[in-house]
Chain A
Amino acid sequence: KNQVEQSPQSLIILEGKNCTLQCNYTVSPFSNLRWYKQDTGRGPVSLTIMTFSENTKSNGRYTATLDADTKQSSLHITASQLSDSASYICVVSARSGGGADGLTFGKGTHLIIQP
């Protein structure tokens, strides 16, 4: 069964500090891995998407890494800001004939940035 496990479940850090969120998956055959940010009361918004051949991708202060051999990904947030407070969801896509079918969502990491 395809699964995506995220850790930690929740995290509190001070503004300006860095943090790293983890995602482990058992999705096969692997197609791509996505990180989404979900603000409270909002829908998820895409941060990054990585395919098998990509092992790092940045989007501003967000840097995602992918190790397809160990089936692990991380999302690193640099110099955190209050607006980074949100849930971060890891989503893994299984390869198929096309489209975004076969998506497996993690439960998310709830991040709180304190001033």
Chain B
Amino acid sequence: EAGVVQSPRYKIIEKKQPVAFWCNPISGHNTLYWYRQNLGQGPELLIRYENEEAVDDSQLPKDRFSAERLKGVDSTLKIQPAELGDSAVYLCASSPGGRVLHFGNGTRLTVT
């Protein structure tokens, strides 16, 4: 089966600019997650979707971050405006029922 696909793989932007990440989960996986991973750290949950509903967005900085999952399949994560501290790897993961998460290879964001 095809894995979780994320794009772009790398993104370099100047601070205060907007940026968007895209995720295509594994077909049939209802649960989708966005994580942020800083260097040398474990992933930190930003938002979790069950189909098209965001069921846990308590860690999402809502003043500048937004996410959507239209039709309960693909998802986009947006940052506007980006700050230097947003530099990290943004990982998308999907799961068919919550036990095993399947991760994409992430988008490495560098804010200059």
Contacts and interface: CB of A to CB of B under 8 A. Distances in A.
Interface string B1-34: 0001000000000000000000000000001010
Given A43-B103, A45-B103, A100-B31, A105 B50 contact: no
Interface in A32-49: 32, 34, 41-46, 49
B31 A103 contact: no
- Which of B42, B43, B55 has the most chain A CB atoms inside 10 A of its CB? B42
B109 interface: no
A99 B42 contact: no
A77 B44 CA distance: 26
Given A32-B99, A42-B105, A99 B50 contact: yes
Interface residues of B, number: 27
Interface in B79-111: 91, 93, 95, 97-106, 108
Interface centre among B56, B93, B100, B105 (most CB of A within 10 A): B100
Contacts of B95: 99-100
Contacts of A60: none
Contact of A49 (B42, B55, B100): B100
Contact of A98 (B42, B56, B98, B108): B98
Interface in A79-99: 89, 91, 98-99
B48 interface: yes
Given A99-B31, A99-B50, A100-B95, A43 B105 contact: yes
A101 interface: yes
A108 B42 contact: yes
B99 A100 contact: yes
Interface of B: 4, 31, 33, 40-45, 48, 50, 55-56, 91, 93, 95, 97-106, 108
Given A49-B99, A99-B31, A101-B55, 7 more contacts: A43-B103, A43-B104, A44-B91, A44-B101, A49-B100, A100-B95, A101-B56
13 contacts: A43-B106, A44-B91, A46-B101, A49-B100, A89-B42, A100-B31, A100-B48, A100-B95, A100-B101, A105-B42, A105-B43, A107-B41, A107-B42
